[in-house]
Amino acid sequence: MAYCVNCGVELDKSLRACPLCNTPVVNPADLAAPKSAVDPFPAKRAVIERAKRSDVAILVSVILLATMAASGLLNLLLYRTGAWSLAIIGGCVVGWVICVPVLIYTRLPIYVSILLDGLSVALYLYLISITAAQGVDWLLKLGFPILTLAVVLAEVMTLLIRHVNHSFLGVSTYVITSIALMCGGIEGVIDLYFHGHASLGWSAVVITVCAVIDAALITILSRRRLRGEVRRRLHF
């Protein structure tokens, strides 16, 4: 019979410590020959079965492959007007590549998975360009540059979030800056494609607004007291 020295409760013989205060049971009378007692609770623990990731990955892969095969066959045999099935096949490839880091190879570095996502979208754009009447010219001068800019911005933002500042205010600054750069880049690339020279138009408005917001955010971030005040009043 052992009592907890802190709580005053009697402890079951199977207990090695008081479950209320975690004080170990040391009973001098039992030190020489500890009594064996039947634990009132079984030792076996159960786990909840759930669908394995690999099973889900196989299911997703089969569904996407079946969709690709079915649309390809329909395009080849039944509805032969244009290579429309390439758009569906490309969409399925993009979907599968996006699933890779979640379901198949979870230890894939995030930078590599973003790069693979970009490559799969590039492949999708290429498949669309095969079917489109304009050829691959727009792809090289419009599609790829915008995609490259988006991938680079996503990589840089991920790097900043992981290694510099991942607070809500910090992430907001990166997102706002990325929006400004993306808009500027899109307008520049479009201008180059259609007019042969780049100039700032509508994106200047976006960049100005983003710059003002960024300036406010950076001020808040750099002042500790201001930062604390904003967090206190705007937490959610």
In whole angstroms, the minimum distance from the beta carbon of 45 to another protein comes to 5
- If you write DSSP's letter for every residue of 42-68 in order, what string do you get? -S---------HHHHHHHHHHHHHHHH
In whole angstroms, the minimum distance from the beta carbon of 20 to another protein comes to 4
Binding piece for another protein, criterion CB under 8 A, among 15-23, 28-36, 59-67, 124-132:
15-23
Among 32, 33, 38, 133, binds another protein (CB under 8 A): 38
Distance of CA 7 to the CA centre of its chain: 48
3-state secondary structure of 24: strand
Which one, 10 or 137, has the nearer CB to another protein?
10
In whole angstroms, the minimum distance from the beta carbon of 106 to another protein comes to 18
| Residues whose CB is less than 8 angstroms from the CB of residue 206 and which lie 6 or more positions away in sequence, other chains included | 179, 180, 183, 184
The reply to whether 45 sits near another protein by the rule CB under 8 A is yes
Output the six-digit token pair for 61.
């892969």
Distance of CA 124 to the CA centre of its chain: 21
Among 34, 36, 44, 196, binds another protein (CB under 8 A): 44
Binding piece for another protein, criterion CB under 8 A, among 42-50, 56-64, 149-157, 200-208:
42-50
Cα 236 to Cα 227: distance, rounded to the nearest angstrom: 15
Binding piece for another protein, criterion CB under 8 A, among 41-49, 127-135, 144-152, 202-210:
41-49
